Structure 1
Amino acid sequence: MSHMGSRSGRWRLVVVGGGSAAAVQVRRGDVPPEETLVVAERLGTGMAFLGRSTLQSYAEELLVSRTPGELRAMLPTGELRPTAAEYDAYIKESLMNSGASVTLARVLDIRRDADGFVLTLRTTGGERRQVHADNVVLATGSTPRKPSAEWQSAGAITFDTVYRELSRGDIGRWAGNSVLVVGAGNSALQTAALVAPDARDVTILANSYVGMYPAESDDRFAWRAPSQLTYELVVKGNRECGRRPWRVPCVRHVVYESLDLVDDEVRWHYREASNLNQLGSRSLPGRCRHAQGRLVSNGAWQESRKRGTTTVVWAAGSTPVYPPGELLTAMRRNPDGTLPHDQLGQTDVPGLYVTGACAGQRSVNETEPARTKPTACVLGVREPDHVEQLSVTADV
């Protein structure tokens, strides 16, 4: 890890972030690593909280370079997919050995100067410093989307809290409670499986039915590998719930229309017509002892849980994170929180680029490095084969 500085006193590129998007930018971008400074509070992915959980993509799908087998070489023999901890170590090694200079620091501000950008940093030792750059790439990743202030005040937590507390053996938030997991994707399903052994019952409240890949969907962002366990729990739990011997935790999946806090209850509404899928059809009232919905109109049901004995877990996706400062705060945002940008990753501010979650790229293998100058490929001319292949398909 180097100290800050360059031969000219100014970096051609500063990459803000220390995760997979930053590694892709450094190792596959158009600026030589020797002319690049990486600034991050920590090196590694935002998935570190998953710990020993196995990721749902294969090792070759998670590469940040064009070197086949690079990640597989770090895994135990016979393993196709890394754990979150193994992948975190891979990202750290990728950045440390990339040839770029790396500084652990928090970015306090980014502003323009006559020649480019000035970044104000606070190092891990508390020292404030400034670095200068011609170009800046934001590769700062994302964080789990938080529930509203109302739901937070009612005790709702984000799904990463479940992983962190479970890793410490702390199940107090959900043990013996009804658990409502709000979300439709892999995070929701996999979180439901984590709390199921200790919860009284688990209901996944989704705004849509995603389906298992590839049996029900050809979308690579549909439910993947570890979510299969929850899929089975819904089916088997429905068959066994309330019947002796009861061996499987009760997990349900409901596509809901509304979710509210009403007095001392958490209340949601759903329609039978929206739940005639493989899991919803097993989760409707009458199918298990925990499905105690009240028919409020033709095909519409209302269900509720007491707030004091219910844990609400938010697993409704993620949102990009950015450094503070007037420049970034003033920039316009897309509805999903990303910064508008062109096909090169260039934002509204000349010389300021985005990649990864900040650019709306949903997975490692969908991540493309920002290009600080036009390339033949972007201009419509095919690049040589040795630089043509940028990614493969599958999400983390």
Structure 2
Amino acid sequence: MGVRANRTSAGEADPVAALPGHDKARTLRRQGSGMYRFSETGRCWRLVVIGGGSAAAIQVRQGDVPPQDTLVIADRLGTGMEFLEDFTLQSYADELRLSRHQETSRLGVTGQLRPSAAQFDAYVRESLLGSGATLKSARVLEVEGEAGMFLLHVLNGDGRMSYERAEAVVLATGSTPRTPPPGWAEAGAVSHDVVHREHARHRTSRWAGRTVLVVGSGNSAMQVASLVASEAAEVVVLGNRYVGMFPTENPDKYGWRAPSQLACELVAKSALECGRPGWHTTCVRHLVYERLDVRDGEITWTYKAEDNRNPLGSRSLSGRCRHARGRLIGEGGSAWEESRRAEETAVVWATGSEPVLPGGSLIESLARQADGSLLTDEAGRTSVDGVHALGACAGQRAVNETTPALVRGRLPLPKLLAGRGVPVESEVPA
């Protein structure tokens, strides 16, 4: 199968996945009325926040509904980056503050500009535990509209189902790393979070002594490259574009930062030293690629010199060292092609993330942005009256740019989409 570079954009087991049928909530309901129980509170909440990460904490601490009128439902309190563990985050501590109060001292120790993922995870959890909201350890499987309110189907920790009712719902459900396309998954490719989890447990056999192809352009790809470089035979980052370092090459704050800088250094250093006596560090390259294929036990990628006239690509072209051995292809030899044996290669997918959302027709009907995240206005209102969203599931990429949804106002879909030049039907995935 083949993958063409898109020039326009960048495990834990699921306890519900074992349930038969596509609609898990209704499957459980059909198994008998004894499977359901109503909430012990017996109330209709003014607001239910679905999610237990930084966006949920921002909503509870900064939103316009008092915490005592808010129910937070999450199967885990903390961030979606817990798999990074002691890995240093790219954001500064002050950029990760969850409320208007000075809490940054709890994010790390003196002298640390950036906290680790584990430190931020603990900070988010403590923030929610001390917020004054009611917290429920469970998973929302479906959200239904009911007489101007909402009915939430909840899978509890003991495996039984219950309902919760709410006047308004805020989705703060976050996102998850994109998984490799089916053909690549069958060939053994994994998403980048798998590499971090295995590395934290000192399980490096997936990439040790092998060629590692990291597919992606952003920080996730570059950080994986630096993470596996000490054990891999060679590392090649294959991006659909050149992002560059923040802030020297790219004013976008989401340009390469923190551990990504090590990958840049390794590309430049190995370009000078790979093959010379005394150089034993892994060869690392970065290429803007054209096409990537796996076929008949071979993984092949193509690239053009004209697409790699950047500080890293120009140091990664065919001929730079013994690892970079390509074949000229195309009219007039306009492109290079390289290949590796699939059995000797580990492929890591680091192409961004996709929102994590409850099921049900109401959630499926929500208008989406081109990347699959939920379409909202500046107040966090979605295309369904009374349903709001913030954080990664709404395409917000940074904690300090995430603002709480204002749930006291409602906005119908036509007004939400007015002036955007996007037909309503094209925003809703099939």
Please report the TM-score for the alignment, with normalisation by the length of structure 1. Answer: 0.91
SS in 2 for 1:121: strand
SS in 2 for 1:243: coil
Q: How far does residue 126 in structure 1 lie from its aligned partner after superposition?
A: 1.9
> 2:175 is matched by which residue type in structure 1?
S
Alignment counterpart, residue 161 of structure 1, candidates 176, 188, 194: 194
SS in 2 for 1:111: strand
> 2:77 is matched by which residue type in structure 1?
L
Corresponding residue for residue 382 of structure 2: 347
Instruction: Quote the Cα distance in structure 2 between the aligned partners of 1:86 and 1:369.
Output: 23
Alignment counterpart, residue 167 of structure 2, candidates 124, 127, 134: 134
SS in 2 for 1:209: coil
Number of aligned positions between the proteins = 371
Instruction: Quote the Cα distance in structure 1 between the aligned partners of 2:394 and 2:269.
Output: 40
Instruction: Quote the Cα distance in structure 2 between the aligned partners of 1:316 and 1:64.
Output: 27
Q: How does 1:174-213 map to 2 (within 5 A)?
A: 174-213=207-246
SS in 1 for 2:224: helix
Corresponding residue for residue 371 of structure 2: 336
Q: How far does residue 335 in structure 1 lie from its aligned partner after superposition?
A: 2.4
> 1:239 is matched by which residue type in structure 2?
L
Alignment counterpart, residue 74 of structure 2, candidates 40, 61, 69: 40
Moved more, 18-27 or 366-375: 366-375
Alignment counterpart, residue 263 of structure 1, candidates 263, 273, 296: 296
SS in 2 for 1:105: strand
Instruction: Verify the 8 A CA contact 2:39 2:163 in the aligned structure 1.
Output: no
> 1:171 is matched by which residue type in structure 2?
T
Instruction: Quote the Cα distance in structure 1 between the aligned partners of 2:374 and 2:246.
Output: 30
What are the ranges of 5 or more consecutive residues in structure 2 without an aligned counterpart? 1-37, 411-430
SS in 1 for 2:46: strand
Instruction: Verify the 8 A CA contact 1:159 1:313 in the aligned structure 2.
Output: yes
Instruction: Quote the Cα distance in structure 1 between the aligned partners of 2:338 and 2:280.
Output: 25
Q: How far does residue 341 in structure 1 lie from its aligned partner after superposition?
A: 2.3
For 1:83-104, what per-residue CA distance to the aligned partner results, in whole angstroms no more than 9, with x for missing partners? 1000000000010101111000
Instruction: Quote the Cα distance in structure 2 between the aligned partners of 1:348 and 1:374.
Output: 13
Instruction: Quote the Cα distance in structure 2 between the aligned partners of 1:221 and 1:74.
Output: 21
SS in 2 for 1:92: helix
Instruction: Quote the Cα distance in structure 2 between the aligned partners of 1:74 and 1:4.
Output: 35
Alignment of 1:103 onto 2:136: yes
Q: How far does residue 147 in structure 1 lie from its aligned partner after superposition?
A: 1.2
Alignment of 1:251 onto 2:284: yes
Alignment of 1:225 onto 2:258: yes
Instruction: Verify the 8 A CA contact 1:72 1:80 in the aligned structure 2.
Output: no
> 1:150 is matched by which residue type in structure 2?
G
Corresponding residue for residue 359 of structure 1: 394
SS in 2 for 1:339: coil
Corresponding residue for residue 386 of structure 1: none
Moved more, 242-251 or 70-79: 70-79
Instruction: Quote the Cα distance in structure 1 between the aligned partners of 2:87 and 2:39.
Output: 35
Instruction: Quote the Cα distance in structure 1 between the aligned partners of 2:151 and 2:67.
Output: 20
Moved more, 229-238 or 329-338: 329-338
Moved more, 335-344 or 42-51: 335-344
For 1:197-238, what per-residue CA distance to the aligned partner results, in whole angstroms no more than 9, with x for missing partners? 111100000000000011111110100121111110001111
Instruction: Quote the Cα distance in structure 2 between the aligned partners of 1:247 and 1:231.
Output: 17
Corresponding residue for residue 348 of structure 2: 313
Instruction: Verify the 8 A CA contact 1:203 1:251 in the aligned structure 2.
Output: yes
Alignment counterpart, residue 173 of structure 1, candidates 185, 189, 206: 206
Percent identity reads: 54
Q: How does 1:12-23 map to 2 (within 5 A)?
A: 12-23=46-57
Please report the TM-score for the alignment, with normalisation by the length of structure 2. Answer: 0.84
Instruction: Quote the Cα distance in structure 2 between the aligned partners of 1:50 and 1:74.
Output: 15
Change (3 A) 1:67 1:4: farther
Instruction: Verify the 8 A CA contact 1:174 1:198 in the aligned structure 2.
Output: yes
Instruction: Verify the 8 A CA contact 2:153 2:162 in the aligned structure 1.
Output: yes
Instruction: Quote the Cα distance in structure 2 between the aligned partners of 1:318 and 1:224.
Output: 18
Q: How far does residue 329 in structure 1 lie from its aligned partner after superposition?
A: 2.6
For 1:337-396, what per-residue CA distance to the aligned partner results, in whole angstroms no more than 9, with x for missing partners? 112222221112110011011211012112121111259xxxxxxxxxxxxxxxxxxxxx
Alignment counterpart, residue 358 of structure 2, candidates 323, 332, 339: 323
Alignment of 1:369 onto 2:383: no
What are the ranges of 5 or more consecutive residues in structure 1 without an aligned counterpart? 376-396
Q: How does 1:146-157 map to 2 (within 5 A)?
A: 146-157=179-190
> 2:231 is matched by which residue type in structure 1?
D
Moved more, 257-266 or 268-277: 257-266
Instruction: Verify the 8 A CA contact 2:304 2:335 in the aligned structure 1.
Output: yes
Corresponding residue for residue 24 of structure 2: none
Instruction: Quote the Cα distance in structure 2 between the aligned partners of 1:53 and 1:74.
Output: 14
Instruction: Verify the 8 A CA contact 2:106 2:123 in the aligned structure 1.
Output: no
> 1:346 is matched by which residue type in structure 2?
R
> 1:273 is matched by which residue type in structure 2?
E
Change (3 A) 1:303 1:327: same
Instruction: Quote the Cα distance in structure 1 between the aligned partners of 2:237 and 2:402.
Output: 29
Corresponding residue for residue 273 of structure 1: 306
Q: How far does residue 115 in structure 1 lie from its aligned partner after superposition?
A: 3.5
Alignment of 1:93 onto 2:129: no
Q: How far does residue 62 in structure 1 lie from its aligned partner after superposition?
A: 0.4
RMSD: 1.6
Instruction: Verify the 8 A CA contact 2:329 2:335 in the aligned structure 1.
Output: yes
Instruction: Quote the Cα distance in structure 2 between the aligned partners of 1:259 and 1:123.
Output: 43
For 1:309-340, what per-residue CA distance to the aligned partner results, in whole angstroms no more than 9, with x for missing partners? 01100001111110122321343433211122
Corresponding residue for residue 293 of structure 1: 326
Q: How far does residue 123 in structure 1 lie from its aligned partner after superposition?
A: 1.3
> 2:383 is matched by which residue type in structure 1?
D
SS in 2 for 1:254: strand
Instruction: Verify the 8 A CA contact 2:73 2:135 in the aligned structure 1.
Output: yes
Instruction: Verify the 8 A CA contact 2:211 2:234 in the aligned structure 1.
Output: yes
